[in-house]
Structure 1
Amino acid sequence: MAQDTHVSDKADDAQLKALGYTASFDRTMTLWENFALGFTYLSPVVGVYTLFAFALATGGAPMFWSYVVVGIGQFLVCLVFAEIVSQYPIAGGVYPWSRRLIGDRWGWMTGWIYMWALATTVAAVAMGAGPYIAALAGFQPSPFVNTVTATLIIAVSTLINLAGTKVLARIAMLGFLCELGGALVVGAWLLLFGREQSISVLFDTVAVSGEGSYLPAFLAAGLAGIFQYYGFEACGDVAEEVPNPSRAIPRAMRLTIYIGGAAAMFVCLALILAVKDLGAVISGQDSDPVWTILTSNFGETGARMVLVVVLISFLSCVLSLQAAASRLMFSFARDKMLPGWKALSRLSSAHVPNVALIICGIVPAAIALGGYYLSNAVAVVVSFAAVGIYIAFQMVVFAALSARLRGWKPSGLFNLGVWGLPATLLALAYGIGAILNLAWPRTPDALWYQNYAVLLTSSVVVIAGLVVLPFMRPALARKASA
């Protein structure tokens, strides 16, 4: 068995060498640990619990269907990514994929946008844990509590990530087991013993829109589904830490969508049907329906036990996000595409990019501190995090489409065959629609910079990338001549 593993590692290292890199990481992450990393990044509990109150108040019970619509769209994106990573199993994911499909500058901009979106997502998830930590500790949630708890969670995550791939993989697996087990147990209990609504509420749009069109409310509430269905790409971010990545990672990506998506819909459905007074949530009278549901069904003590599982889910999600961000930064630095590339591409004795990990802790903590001064900070930060990731995703999908039209034929172990082109076209169409939905200003009564916060922050990141890009030209030239 050990000999087979050694032969497999040699084959993986030879494949990586053919792509222009020497092996630096330990290939100790199994298929199921790789899937657990993607699952805890997607995190059905974190995704649903963070935005449940917002989505239910905005779109009512039919907001549940956003999980179905987005799940189908993101599954198409997942298939495109699976084809690419099967041929290019390189650490950093979207950056090296785009770079090989179109070129250095396109790859650099894709990675730049994704890097900032990941940093913002780390902050968003850590901030989303604030109300649950407050409920667990028995004090009132507030922007200050959200900021302090976010900073602490990011600090703990950084320390754990610095311990190495084995520790990350084991905690990701623990997080997966806790989260899936907790989601199934709590969801099943609520469906069996805590139901307050009939299934028909999933089709009741009148409570939100009256006699008018429900579509605007559904699109706004769709943030819940859109924020949920990514994480599968994290499986590819650690491609150099997985044996036989060309076969294992496409499978782990698909499992992330199958199991993570099903768990998210199950949790969301159970919570919706357990809401006693939907009108109170929609009117804002019940601003924390999750806590109301948990306390009314499990009591104060039982609700706090559930919250412990929820907080494990938040921590494991931050861990996975930060790991993905650090591998992206390492991939950039290894190609000499960032200032300070020597330090950022250095691996510690635990075989992790320690400097990149520390920076991927400091930047999200700074974003969380900045969120303290925003009204409805979690929704604003989540919106930018989602739109940034979607932009980066669609840059990869566009790169795949462009490469196909120029004659590229995926040659990895996972291949869509004749379905590759239509799947790519549909994935691109879905992604563009989701980006427009995320960026659309919907609060005309708010201050202009709050109403256009997503557009503004996205524009700042893109413009900053275009400003920095010319300074990367020497690195690009060195890479081209290498």
Structure 2
Amino acid sequence: MTSPRLARHLGTTDAVVVGLGAMIGAGVFAAFAPAARAAGSLLLVALGIAAVVAYCNATSSARLAALYPESGGTYVYGRRRLGDFWGYLAGWGFVVGKTASCAAMALTVGAYAFPGHERAVAVLAVVAVTALNLFGVQKSALATRIIVAFVLVVLAAVVAACVFGRSPAPGPSPAGFSGWGVLQGAGLLFFAFAGYARIATLGEEVVDPARTIPRAIRISLGITLLVYLAVAVAAVSVLGSVRLGASTAPLADAVTAAGNGWLAPAVRVGAAVAALGSLLALLLGVSRTTLAMARDRHLPGFLAAVHPARQIPHRAELAVGAAVVVLVSLLDLRGAIGFSSFGVLVYYAVANGSALTLRREEGAPHRLVPVAGLAGCLLLAATLPFKAVIAGLVVFAIGALLWWVRRSARPTPPGSTTTPSA
């Protein structure tokens, strides 16, 4: 039985806001410190590399999303262009990695909003956001618009405080540099850029997807790059790369070092709100990929249900919310940036591989774009911290094993392919 389709409610502005909510979220408050520890004084070079890879991924994803405007993003593209296994592997990595990211974002909300009671606040945040999503994607987009506006105001205040505050001598720069460290920093910063995937995973709910999705991805990625560049320059100019890398609250420390300590509480509130926005966008994306995988029986079929009135994947949203609550209650996942980056880089490697099979009449990008994106994803994934790489490989190995077991027990799902589309 075919699962009902989701309703198309999201226009270009809403799609851009969803992408911004996922990208200009907790990543800007959390990713710069570990990236600075890895890249040192070449943090801006690492940011540039991450941006180039993100651009290639975004271009490939936009062309594919316009061709296949369905829920699921790269899970759908991989199945259609490369075969069932590669699509499944992308979806598996996205669902597992981003569920961990949801838990990390929820714990970040708790850490900033009520230190010492992080888990309780995190659980409440997940329950509240899941409940909001159950009222429909339009309500979620409106809430994301408010959150993004507030976070942009806070980040503008941070940049202004650093530029126009007193100018202390930045911290010392590390001796020399490591090309490996720069690439590792770029891989960690990619965590903060990866949110434009949320636009593609909502493809079934976007109005005029062939036009809206590519435009929304380009706009949201461009705005995010400008914001990150301004914040990175401001923070490094005040703290220096060593102090930035050692900080647990880098933007709050930056405004304090610039003589505007009165702004630090507002920055902390901004970080909590930004994490809440990221959690909202992540839950939307993971639930839609879960829906797509359940339709193909790669996940339990009951998760493919669509609410008849609100036209949302309500069971998938409840299941993802419950899984995040369990993770938040049992584990400390605030250090999940590296693991999440590994999963998402593999996800986009499949997207670029899929884009390589597009023909000119299907809107294929210049061949250099998916080639550079594929190579960049694999390189950055390999240079991530060792524990993140090992954890990622183990998770993907488990996913591959489950796929082969399932394939040997059941026939191939209808509509899947074993070779690229002609």
- TM-score in same-fold range (> 0.5): yes
Instruction: For 1:77, give the aligned amino acid.
Output: N
Q: Which protein is bigger by CA-based radius of gyration?
A: 1
The 2-side partners of 1:39 and 1:288 are apart by 21
Matched, 1:55 2:10: no
CA gap of 1:289–1:180, structure 2 versus 1, over 3 A, is closer
Counterpart of 2:153? 181
Counterpart of 2:205? 241
Partner secondary structure for residue 212 of structure 2? helix
Partner secondary structure for residue 60 of structure 1? helix
The 2-side partners of 1:80 and 1:170 are apart by 28
CA gap of 1:358–1:216, structure 2 versus 1, over 3 A, is same
| Mapping for residues 62-101 of structure 1, pairs under 5 Å | 62-101=42-81
2:377 to 407, 417, 431: 431
The 2-side partners of 1:174 and 1:468 are apart by 41
Deviation at 1:474, TM superposition (A): 6.4
Counterpart of 2:309? 349
- Superposed CA RMSD in Å reads 2.8
Counterpart of 1:411? 362
Partner secondary structure for residue 362 of structure 2? coil
Matched, 1:33 2:14: yes
Instruction: For 1:324, give the aligned amino acid.
Output: G
The 2-side partners of 1:358 and 1:23 are apart by 18
Q: Is the 8 A contact 2:291 2:313 kept in 1?
A: yes
CA gap of 1:146–1:215, structure 2 versus 1, over 3 A, is farther
1:111 to 91, 112, 117: 91
Deviation at 1:22, TM superposition (A): 7.8
Deviation at 1:334, TM superposition (A): 1.9
CA gap of 1:110–1:51, structure 2 versus 1, over 3 A, is closer
Q: Is the 8 A contact 2:78 2:87 kept in 1?
A: yes
The 2-side partners of 1:459 and 1:279 are apart by 31
Gaps of 5+ in 2: 418-422
Counterpart of 1:325? 286
Q: Aligned pair count? A: 415
The 2-side partners of 1:23 and 1:358 are apart by 18
Q: Deviations over 1:251-272 (max 9, x none)?
A: 1111121001111121222222
Partner secondary structure for residue 378 of structure 1? coil
Gaps of 5+ in 1: 1-19, 135-140, 442-452
The 2-side partners of 1:279 and 1:429 are apart by 30
CA gap of 1:313–1:468, structure 2 versus 1, over 3 A, is same
Q: Deviations over 1:64-100 (max 9, x none)?
A: 3211111011101111111111111111111111111
Deviation at 1:197, TM superposition (A): 4.9
Q: Deviations over 1:160-211 (max 9, x none)?
A: 111111101111221222222322233123212254357xx8xxxx732x2x
Partner secondary structure for residue 55 of structure 1? helix
TM-score, with length taken from structure 2: 0.89
1:378 to 322, 334, 348: 334
1:314 to 267, 272, 275: 275
| Mapping for residues 248-263 of structure 1, pairs under 5 Å | 248-263=212-227
CA gap of 1:287–1:177, structure 2 versus 1, over 3 A, is closer
Deviation at 1:464, TM superposition (A): 2.0
Q: Is the 8 A contact 2:151 2:274 kept in 1?
A: yes
Matched, 1:400 2:351: no
Identity over aligned residues, as a percent?
21
CA gap of 1:289–1:463, structure 2 versus 1, over 3 A, is closer
